[in-house]
Amino acid sequence: MSALRYDWSTLLIAGTLALLALVPFSGDGYHLSLGIGILNYLVLATAWALFSGTTGYISLATSAFFGIGAYAAAALGEVLPWPVVLLVAALVGAAVAFIVGLSTLRLSGIYFVIFSFGLAELIRQLVTWYEVNVAGSVGRYVFLDISHTAIFWQLFALAVAVFVIGFLIYRSRLGLALRVIGEDEVVAQHCGINTARAKLMLFVLSAVFMTLTGTIMAPRWTYIDPAIAFNPLISFQVVIMALLGGAGLLYGPLLGVVPLVLLFDLIGAHFPNYFSILLGLIFIVIVYGIPKGIAGLLPLEQPPAAMLAAKADPGVLDIGYANAPKADSHPLLAVSGLSRAFGGLRAVDDLSFAVDRGAIVGLIGPNGSGKTSALNLISGLLKPDRGDVRFDGAPISGLRSDHIVKSGIARTFQLVRVIDDLSCAQNILAAIAWRAQPQWGAAAWREALVWLDRVGLKEQADLPAAKLTYIDRKRLELARALALQPKLLLLDEWLAGLNPTELQSGIALIASLRRDGVTIVMVEHVMDAIRSLCDRCVVMNAGRKIADGTTTEALASPEVIRAYLGEDDA
């Protein structure tokens, strides 16, 4: 079965490129320069969306990389052969993106936006300073023997490259990872995704395309200075075009670039003085009117071929957990002296406990006693101030969440976290694709359906997670955790808020997990569940452990009764 035959988006891209390829043969200089303009923004906007559209990290630094590329052409064009110039430009762009990304991408999105906003200005100042003080003049003449037709074909090749690479990324597990990062970075980390590395890779890749565009475009001007090469309008127009088209999809920017380049050409020709006002107004209209872009209005997205294959042939799949409990002397999880304070509040204070293989341990205590913080410390969401967590004998405290996930700990969240925009199957797929023993393609889809079946969600596989009921969202989150094939599962009030029938089926589900050999630590308030499921309980109050023993013992301890019911009832 040919996947391409049904794929309208591929047709759209190929068709546009084919039409553009005819432009040089018209022999008209104006058409050629319009074609160059379209290709220029097509590469820039598509490269921009490759990173910003998927991850949601809005970059306003396009002109920084474009300018670096243009300056590489101006400075080296007459000294080195052209292919070498392109190579050097790409390397410089990649290096700058790497350094900037490494230092800013681990911060929250907003800082990244601000930094990228100023990056072009910063580089422009540095280049100006260098040119004035070292090179001796602000501007440079670019005398390169490269015709406009040659520029056109170079840009054309670059556009083809950006679409091919984009296509490969969007259908790879990296593409799925980026979408998860864009929706919820914590979930991404808890699927085993190294989010910092994924973001950095895409940022560098998109910067290389932008830099190369600048290099190729430079010979169009005979004179460049920092104000031309690092023009902030470029960043701005790229963002407008990508957003108008739809930044979340490979073909989205294309739908914005073509009409807007033509429109800007018109405005520039007829109302040059009002260019920036009209530009701003168009932009505002787009942000309000079509936040998802033109692509969001077109039903072009096709179900992945791998999914269709999996559905056509579900096969028989024996999924298990990578971890049959083996007799071993040390406990599976050993927490000792774990502490974490928020300002003056000691959320977790010198907490120690151990969990044996195959056990279900309840972590209980009054509200605010530090149970969730303890889970967060174990799963890597929080870093401990002091103390030690050993999992399967190896220290894991202070590691990143994705490392911890890969070592065999999965979790659910107190406030359910699923990726609303993805289908239920895709939610599971993210975990399957990035766990310690990853799967991708039809095999992964097959497995995803099995996990959904395991929690009773098979019918909803194609439904976006946003459409699920509360209990089904919880089920989906549990299925995602199970798909990571954990040795240890951390459940944070997974049974809270269920009605009595749902509670019974929930308890049965957890009991069946134990039979499969999964070790479980559950934070819970539902006493029925604790009594029927937990072998042991660790009771916390005000950050400290106040009891630890078999469930009956722990619940009967006077200190526990005092913590829950107050002094008088003890």
Question: Contact between 132 and other proteins (CB under 8 A)?
Answer: yes
C-alpha dihedral, 279 to 282 to 288 to 294, nearest 10°:
-120
Query: Which residues, in sequence order, are bridge partners of residue 260?
Result: none
Which residue in the set 26, 108, 505, 550 belongs to the binding site for other proteins (CB under 8 A)? 108
Which residue in the set 275, 346, 388, 564 belongs to the binding site for other proteins (CB under 8 A)? 275
Q: How far apart are CA 202 and CA 199, in angstroms?
A: 5
Neighbours of 242 (CB within 10 A): 31
Question: Contact between 118 and other proteins (CB under 8 A)?
Answer: yes
Minimum CB–partner distance for residue 128 and other proteins (Å): 6
Minimum CB–partner distance for residue 343 and other proteins (Å): 7
Stretch that binds other proteins, among 25-33, 71-79, 276-284, 455-463 (CB under 8 A): 276-284
Could you tell me whether strands 488-492 and 409-411 are parallel, antiparallel, or unpaired per DSSP bridges?
A: parallel
Backbone phi and psi for residue 537, each to the nearest 5 degrees, phi listed first: -130, 140
Stretch that binds other proteins, among 126-134, 396-404, 433-441, 517-525 (CB under 8 A): 126-134
**Alpha helices (H) in 26-147, listed in sequence order:** 29-48, 54-55, 62-76, 82-104, 109-130
DSSP single-letter state for residue 222? S
Q: Retrieve residue 73's tokens.
A: 């052409």
Span 44-83, contacts to other proteins by CB under 8 A: 56, 58, 60
Tell me how long the chain is: 570
CA distance readout (Å), 7 to 31, 382, 551: 30, 43, 57
Helix, coil or strand: residue 206: helix
Minimum CB–partner distance for residue 509 and other proteins (Å): 30
Torsional class of 192: left (φ above 0), alpha (ψ -120 to 50), beta (otherwise): left
Question: What distance lies between CA 161 and its chain's CA centroid?
Answer: 23
Helix, coil or strand: residue 364: strand
Question: What distance lies between CA 285 and its chain's CA centroid?
Answer: 28
Minimum CB–partner distance for residue 119 and other proteins (Å): 8
Name the residue nearer to other proteins (CB basis): 373 or 519. 373
Straight-line distance from the first to the last Cα atom of the chain, in angstroms, rounded to the nearest whole number:
71
Which residue in the set 22, 84, 281, 565 belongs to the binding site for other proteins (CB under 8 A)? 281
Q: How far apart are CA 13 and CA 489, in angstroms?
A: 45
Tokens 């593409």: give the residue: 175
Question: Contact between 273 and other proteins (CB under 8 A)?
Answer: yes
Q: Retrieve residue 195's tokens.
A: 């989010």
Question: Contact between 342 and other proteins (CB under 8 A)?
Answer: yes
The CA-CA-CA angle for residues 197, 402, 492, to 5°, reads 140
Question: Contact between 98 and other proteins (CB under 8 A)?
Answer: no
Binding-residue total with other proteins (CB under 8 A): 45
Question: Contact between 117 and other proteins (CB under 8 A)?
Answer: yes
Helix (H), strand (E) at residue 537: strand 536-541
Q: How far apart are CA 423 and CA 416, in angstroms?
A: 16
Question: Contact between 356 and other proteins (CB under 8 A)?
Answer: no
Question: Contact between 244 and other proteins (CB under 8 A)?
Answer: no
Q: How far apart are CA 408 and CA 392, in angstroms?
A: 9
Question: Contact between 128 and other proteins (CB under 8 A)?
Answer: yes
Minimum CB–partner distance for residue 334 and other proteins (Å): 26
Span 303-332, contacts to other proteins by CB under 8 A: none
Name the residue nearer to other proteins (CB basis): 114 or 436. 114
Q: How far apart are CA 515 and CA 523, in angstroms?
A: 20
Question: Contact between 288 and other proteins (CB under 8 A)?
Answer: yes
Backbone phi and psi for residue 468, each to the nearest 5 degrees, phi listed first: -80, 155
Question: Contact between 6 and other proteins (CB under 8 A)?
Answer: no
Question: What distance lies between CA 77 and its chain's CA centroid?
Answer: 38
Which residue in the set 19, 84, 95, 110 belongs to the binding site for other proteins (CB under 8 A)? 110
Question: Contact between 266 and other proteins (CB under 8 A)?
Answer: no
Query: Which residues, in sequence order, are bridge partners of residue 224?
Result: 140
Minimum CB–partner distance for residue 340 and other proteins (Å): 10
Question: Contact between 107 and other proteins (CB under 8 A)?
Answer: yes
Query: Which residues, in sequence order, are bridge partners of residue 388?
Result: 336
Minimum CB–partner distance for residue 288 and other proteins (Å): 6
Which residue in the set 17, 113, 150, 160 belongs to the binding site for other proteins (CB under 8 A)? 113
Question: Contact between 284 and other proteins (CB under 8 A)?
Answer: yes
Minimum CB–partner distance for residue 342 and other proteins (Å): 5
What is the pattern of x (binds other proteins, CB under 8 A) and - over residues 224-243? --------x---x--x---x
Which residue in the set 103, 172, 222, 512 belongs to the binding site for other proteins (CB under 8 A)? 103
Name the residue nearer to other proteins (CB basis): 283 or 564. 283
Which residue in the set 109, 296, 368, 398 belongs to the binding site for other proteins (CB under 8 A)? 109
Question: Contact between 296 and other proteins (CB under 8 A)?
Answer: no
Stretch that binds other proteins, among 107-115, 248-256, 467-475, 488-496 (CB under 8 A): 107-115
* Residues forming the site for other proteins (CB under 8 A): 56, 58, 60, 103-104, 107-111, 113-115, 117-118, 121-122, 125-126, 128-129, 132-133, 232, 236, 239, 243, 273-284, 287-288, 291, 342-343, 347
